[in-house]
Structure 1
Amino acid sequence: MAAEGALKCVKFLVFFFSFVFCLCGAALAAAGAAVSLALGRAPLAPGGAGGWSPAAVAALGGLIFLSAFLGCCGAWRESHCLLTTFTVLLSLIFLLELAAAVTGYVFKNKVHGLVEDGLWAAVRGYEGDAALSATVDGIQRELSCCGVNNYTDWASVGSFGANDSVPSSCCRQPGASCNLRPTPATVFAKGCLPSLEAWVGRNVVVLAAMALGVAFFEVLGVVFSCCLMRGIRSGYEVM
């Protein structure tokens, strides 16, 4: 009786952890998608993420949700097959999340170069690409900044250098000629690089921390699932 009582407790814990993983998987998928969309608006240098992306973390969240659903069904029906599938998937996901957290941390250390190169490319292509100009204007308005390092960076860009001007998105107060002959009094003096770098870094760190936090609880889920599988195979009645 004591063994059966213990297995009932384990069954409840497996079901509880599986339900929590369902919620965590959905949250991780939503966060990954949100960060992916947010970073999609940031001008980053291509090919520098080393295979890491928020979209991959979102897909991982979806996989967690699916495996957790199998865990809930397996615990409720006391299915050795479903619990085995749940345990194997959860173990693989745990390893993937550790890899995501580590590569996310490595990616964070590369943020400065990726942001700087991408931002310079966006500034230099401002006049020839409407999408880039809209992105740069949005960043400069949102972060109250101008250029990469400061507003004088625009002096090396096409007609801005020839006309001694900057984009109107640099203006502190919109006006008919606020972007002509710019000074720190009329335009944002600071560059966009520090603020954009910090913004990208925060998004990456939060997502990696979420993946690592879920991975910690998955270890407990695997342990309890293995205990329940052992009890089911031993023939105990756990209902």
Structure 2
Amino acid sequence: MKLMFNNCTMSIVKYVLFAFNFVFALSGLGILIAGALVLADVNEFNHFIEGRVTAPPIVLIITGTIIFLIASLGCFGAIKESPPLLITYAVLLAIIFIIELAVGIAACVFRADLESSIKNSLLETIRRSNDMDLKAWDNIQNKLMCCGVNDPTDWQYESRYNPRILRGSCCKPEFTDPSTKDCQNSLVLAKDKYFQEGCITKLKDRIDSNATILIGVGIGIAFLQLLGIYLACTLASAIRRERAANN
């Protein structure tokens, strides 16, 4: 009777682990897609952002790919009822969990000085104002509907571009001069014609929003990984007990 109970329990754990790994494989694809979307979004403003900001989504893309492969190993180990494969699977899950935890801690630590780092980068480029800088500024101001670092007066006091005329990317669309790409007759005081909010706030909010997505996905996957480790170890132990009993 006890042997039948153990066999029944092992079968249940095996099929639960197989189903879990199928879901886990899909979650790996989900992580990969989430990381790719965030990376694409952040890369639009990579002229102003240090590589440390792009590192977490890159790590998630790699992690998602590895999770998909590990989940496949877990499915195979469950079907074959192989304790060595199941333990290898559990160890790999534990390693990935530790890596994710380290990346999460590093991201939280970096968030503390994120605004200062971005602000310094924005100020440096607006002061330099070469062709590449101005093109990057046009991109960020158009897409985030902002102007300057803290406010539009940064173009007056910080930039060597032109202290009197704002770039067209600062303007509301109806006030952009199509021939010059600048604001129509817009001195810095013509506040009705251009965006009032600085880009530092908009860019930080964008990055924070992406970070929230990555943290949420990471926490959800971490709990799945712990469950996977438990199921794999439980099944490996049950298989070994059954084989020892049969021998």
Q: Same fold by TM-score, threshold 0.5 exceeded?
A: yes
Work out the CA distance in 2 between the residues paired with 1:227 and 1:144: 55
Match of 2:155 in 1: 154
In the alignment, the residues of structure 2 paired with residue 219 and residue 179 of structure 1 have an alpha-carbon distance, to the nearest angstrom, of: 62
Q: Where does structure 2 lack aligned partners over 5 or more consecutive residues?
A: 178-182
Q: Say whether the 8 Å CA contact 2:32–2:60 is kept in structure 1.
A: yes
Q: Distance in 1 between matches of 2:71 and 2:185?
A: 56
Q: C-alpha separation between the residues in 2 aligned to 1:190 and 1:94?
A: 40
Using the alignment, how far apart are the partners of 1:175 and 1:229 within structure 2?
Answer: 68
Match of 2:186 among 180, 191, 195: 180
Are residues 1:76 and 2:82 paired? no
Residue 46 of structure 1 is matched in structure 2 by 50
Equivalent residues in 2 for 1:173-212, closer than 5 Å: 173-176=174-177, 177-178=183-184, 180-182=186-188, 183-212=190-219
Cα shift at 1:66: 1.0
Give the Cα separation in 2 of the matches to 1:66 and 1:171.
49
In structure 1, the residue matched to 2:138 is 137
Q: Confirm or deny: 8 A CA contact 2:175 2:193 kept in the other structure.
A: no
Cα deviation 1:70-92 (Å, max 9, x = unaligned): 00111112122321221110111
Which stretch has the larger CA shift, 200-209 or 219-228?
Answer: 200-209
User: Structure 1: how far apart are the matches of 2:27 and 2:236?
Assistant: 23
Report the Cα offset of residue 229 of structure 1: 0.6
Which segment drifts farther, 136-145 or 82-91?
136-145
Contact in 2 for aligned 1:97/1:212 (Cα 8 Å)? no
Matches within 5 A, 1:21-170: 21-42=24-45, 43-46=47-50, 52-129=55-132, 132-155=133-156, 156-161=158-163, 164-170=164-170
How far did 1:213 drift? 1.5
Within 5 A, what are the aligned runs for 1:5-16? 5-16=8-19
CA distance in structure 2 between the aligned counterparts of 1:147 and 1:127, rounded to whole angstroms: 15
Aligned length: 232
SS state of the match for residue 151, structure 1? coil
Contact in 1 for aligned 2:49/2:121 (Cα 8 Å): yes
Counterpart-to-counterpart distance in 2, 1:14 and 1:99: 26
Q: In the aligned structure 2, how far is the partner of 1:122 from the partner of 1:27?
A: 36
Deviation per CA, 1:128-181, whole angstroms, max 9, x where unpaired?
32xx333321221222211001111011312312xx111111111233352631
Asked if the contact 1:52–1:103 (Cα under 8 Å) also holds between the matched residues in 2, the reply is: no
- Matched-pair identity in %: 32
Structure 1 length-normalised TM: 0.89
Gaps of 5+ in 1: none
Point out the more displaced range, 211-220 or 133-142: 133-142
What TM-score results when the alignment is normalised by the length of structure 2?
0.86
Give the 3-state SS of the residue equivalent to 2:162 in structure 1: helix
CA RMSD of aligned residues (A): 2.1
Q: Distance in 1 between matches of 2:82 and 2:235?
A: 10
CA separation of 1:179/1:192 partners in 2, compared to 1, >3 Å: closer, same or farther?
farther
SS of equivalent residue, structure 1 residue 137: helix
How far is 1:45 from its partner?
4.5
The runs of at least 4 aligned residues of structure 1 exceeding 6 Å deviation read none
